[in-house]
Chains A and B, each alone.
Chain A
Amino acid sequence: MTDPKLVNLTIEGRAVSVPDGTTILEAAKTAGVLIPHYCYHPGLEIAGVCRMCLVEVEKWPKLAPSCATTAADGQVVHVYSQKALDARKGVLELLLINHPLDCPICDQAGECELQDYTFQEGRADSRYREPKRFTPAEDFGGDVMYVTNRCILCTRCVRFMGDVAGDEALCVEERGDRARIGIAPDHDLTHPWAANVIDLCPVGALVSKDFLNKARAWELDRTASICPNCSQGCNITLETRDADVVRMKPRSNADVNQYYLCDEGRLNYQWINRDDRLETPVVAGQLASWEAALSAAGAALKGGAAHVVASASLSNEALWLLKQAAGTGKFRVTKGAEAPLPGVKDLALRADRAPNATGAERLGFSRADQPLAGAGKVVVIAGDDCDGLDTAALAAAQSVIVVGTVAPKGLPANAILLPVANFAEEEGTFTNLRGRTQRFLQARPAPGLARASWMALAGLVAAAGKAGAYDSAEAVFAAMAKSEAAFSGMSYDSLGLKGQMAAGAGVNA
C-alpha cells in the first residue's frame, strides 16, 4: 500500500494531519473534537441532511457541513465559534419543534444524541407555542418499533437498509413537517440484520421491542465481549442490569463486524441468565465439595484413556486445559442458515452456530455428529452441547465426568458433575472462522460454587496428576501460546480488545 498524501489543517487551534480525502468531521475526531452530527455515520454513505455538523472554516463565506466537506491543506476550522454555535443551536431548536419531551419514558434517554447535543449546545427552552405534531407509533416488524414523533429524519436507517443491508424497505414519506420514515408496501424489518437500525438511530425513534421499557441506559454495566452465537465472532458489548444481561450491542471492530450485529445474535441472550444452573459439584448424585469432586474426577481419569466430548462454545483456554487433562476429543456444532450482510465484506451470520469451532480444531479437537459414539470406560463431557445426544453409549462407561453449566439428561448415577461459568461469567478467548483470536471479559458473577471453566479444568489437570498450575485465564493463555503453534506469540496484552490473527495468516478476518 502506498502512503496516502497527507493534508495539514488546523481544527480548534490544533494542527491535524490526515490522509487526503478525509472529511473535516473525521479529521476533528483525530484532534479530539467531536463535532455534533446526526445523519453522518462512519459506516454509511454521507447524506448531509441534518445540518447539525456545521462548522466555520476561515475565509469561507458560509458555514460548512463538516461531514460532507473534505479537509484541505491550510484550512482553519472553528467548531465552537459563535457563528457555528448559533447555527447549531438553531438546528436543534427546529429539531425540537415537533420532538416530544417524553425522555422519561423513552428508551433512548441517557444514550440519545439529541439529548446530549441539546444539553451541550441547545436552548434551554422553546419559543414555539403551537401544539406539537402527533403521529402514532408504528410496528416495523422484526424487532423494530418506529416512534414517529421522535424521528429527526436523519435517514441513517434508510441508508443502512438500502446501501448496507440491500433491502430497500425504508424511505422518507410525505413532506415538510409531516415527513416521516415509511416502510415499503409488503416489506417489514425482518431482514436478518435489520435491527442495526436501532443502534444507528441517534434518537429514540427506532427502538427495540425486546428491550422496550426494560431498563434505563444509565443503569447498565457494559462489558466488552464476543458474540457466542456463530463463528463470525462479532465484537459485542454485553449490557447487564443487576447482573442480568438485558441486551447485546455491537462493538465496532473494522476487521470483523464493522459497526453491526445480526438480529439472531443480538436477540439470543436470554440463555445467559437462565437460573436452572448447576451450582455445586456432584459426585454420584451427592453434593460434594470442589476438592472431593476434583479428586474423584482425577482418580477416574487415571483409570484409563478418556473419551473426550468437547464443545465449540468453550474458550480456547478451557479447551487447551481439557486437552492437558484428558486429551483431545470430538465436538458437535449446531448448524443454521447463513445470512450475509451484503454491504460489508466478509460479514455474515455463519452456518456454524458456535463461537469457537476454529479454536477447537486448531487445538486438535475434531468435528463429529455423534461425539459420544465409541465412548470407552472413562468419558469426559465438557460444555453443554451434548443435550439430545444418544446417551446409551454412556451406560457402559465406568466413570463420566461432566464439566458444564447445566446437568445434561441421561447421565449414569455415578457421574461426576463440575459446575462452570458460561462465557459471560468468565474471561477467555474465542477464535473466529477466519482465525482471529479475540478476548471476552466477565460481565456477571457465576452462580453458586460454579468456577470459571479454565479454573475448573486447571483443577482437573492437577487432580489427574498432569503438569501445570495456573492462577488466571491470562496465565493459561500464556502457557497455551508457548505450547500451541496456532497461538504462538499471542498474549492478552497483544490481543487487546480487537483480537489478533495467528502468525502467518492473512490480515483480514
Chain B
Amino acid sequence: MAITTRVVDRPVDESSYIRATFQGLALSFKHLVDPHKVTVQYPEEKWDIGPRWRGTHRMLTTEDGTAKCVACGLCPTVCPANCIKLVPGEDAEGNRYPLVFDIDEFRCIFCGYCQEVCPEEAIHLGRHYENAEYERKDFIYDLKRLTSQTHPVCEMWDPADPRGE
C-alpha cells in the first residue's frame, strides 16, 4: 500500500521560527544579566556538603599523634561489607593498639556503622568526596594514611537534635 501524506496549512504565527528565535535569544540574554547561577565552578568552587555526609574514612589521633584506636575489633565485627582488616598488638607500656588497620574503600559501603560503634571515637567517616587515585591499591587506606588525612569528619547525628526529630 502506497504511503500518502497530507500537508496541512498551519497559521504563520504558529509556525514561524522567527518568533521562537527571538524568544530564545531573550531567555539567553536574561541569563546573561541575571545574577542567579546554578552551575558550580568546580574545582575552583566547591559545594558545602552536609554535616552527615559519609565519605572516605579518617582515624582521629591523640595529642601525641598516635591513633586513638585501641584495636577492640568492634568495627571489623560490625562492618557489613567486611572491609576493615585489623590486627591488634601491644605497645611497650602494654597498651593495646592496632598493628594493622586497613580499610578497603572499594569494598566500603559508607554505612557509618564503624563510626557509630567505635568506643574511642577514633574511626570516622569523612565529609569528603575527592577520592581519585592512580592505582587501585591506593584505595586500601592504611593506618598512616587514615591518621594523616585532615578533611572534616561526619557528624553521625546533629548534637542539637540527636534523635533526628
A contact residues vs B (CB 8 Å cutoff): 103-105, 109, 137, 212-216, 218-219
Contacts and interface: CB of A to CB of B under 8 A. Distances in A.
B90 A104 contact: no
Closest 10 CB pairs of A and B: A104-B72, A216-B73, A104-B119, A105-B96, A213-B90, A213-B96, A105-B70, A213-B88, A104-B70, A105-B72
Contacts of A212: 90
Contact of B77 (A105, A213, A218): A218
B138 interface: no
25 contacts: A103-B72, A103-B119, A104-B70, A104-B119, A104-B120, A105-B72, A105-B95, A105-B96, A109-B72, A137-B94, A212-B90, A213-B71, A213-B88, A213-B90, A213-B96, A214-B88, A215-B73, A215-B88, A216-B72, A216-B73, A216-B77, A218-B73, A218-B77, A219-B73, A219-B76
Interface string B88-106: 1110001110000000000
B81 interface: no
Interface in B75-90: 76-77, 88-90
B77 A219 contact: yes
B111 interface: no
B131 to A, nearest CB: 28
A493 B5 CA distance: 88
Contacts of B70: 104-105
Nearest to A216: B73
Contacts of A104: 70, 72, 74, 119-120
A213 B89 CA distance: 6
Contacts of A137: 94
A215 B94 CA distance: 15
A173 B96 CA distance: 28
B158 to A, nearest CB: 23
Interface string B144-158: 000000000000000
Contacts of A218: 73, 77
Interface residues of B, number: 15
Contacts of B88: 213-216
Nearest to B85: A242
A213 B77 CA distance: 16
A447 to B, nearest CB: 21
Q: Which of B72, B90, B94, B120 has the most CB of A within 10 A?
A: B72
Q: Which of A104, A109, A215, A216 has the most CB of B within 10 A?
A: A104
Contacts of A103: 72, 119
Nearest to B117: A104
A214 B89 CA distance: 7
A149 to B, nearest CB: 14
A105 B94 CA distance: 11
A13 B79 CA distance: 41
A109 B73 CA distance: 10
A75 B72 CA distance: 45
Contacts of A109: 72
Interface in B38-81: 70-74, 76-77
A57 to B, nearest CB: 40
Contacts of A216: 72-73, 77, 88
A104 B73 CA distance: 8
Contacts of A213: 71, 88-90, 96
Contacts of A105: 70-72, 95-96
A189 B76 CA distance: 35
A218 B73 CA distance: 9
A104 B86 CA distance: 14
B85 to A, nearest CB: 10
Contacts of A219: 73, 76-77
B18 to A, nearest CB: 75
Q: Which of A212, A213, A216 has the most CB of B within 10 A?
A: A213
A212 B95 CA distance: 10
Interface string B113-138: 00000011000000000000000000
Contacts of B90: 212-213
Given A104-B120, A109-B72, 19 more contacts: A103-B72, A103-B119, A104-B70, A104-B74, A104-B119, A105-B72, A105-B96, A137-B94, A213-B88, A213-B90, A213-B96, A215-B73, A215-B88, A216-B73, A216-B77, A216-B88, A218-B77, A219-B76, A219-B77
Contacts of A215: 73, 88
Nearest to A102: B70
A186 B74 CA distance: 40
B80 to A, nearest CB: 16
A218 B88 CA distance: 14
Contacts of B77: 216, 218-219
Nearest to B91: A213
Nearest to A214: B88
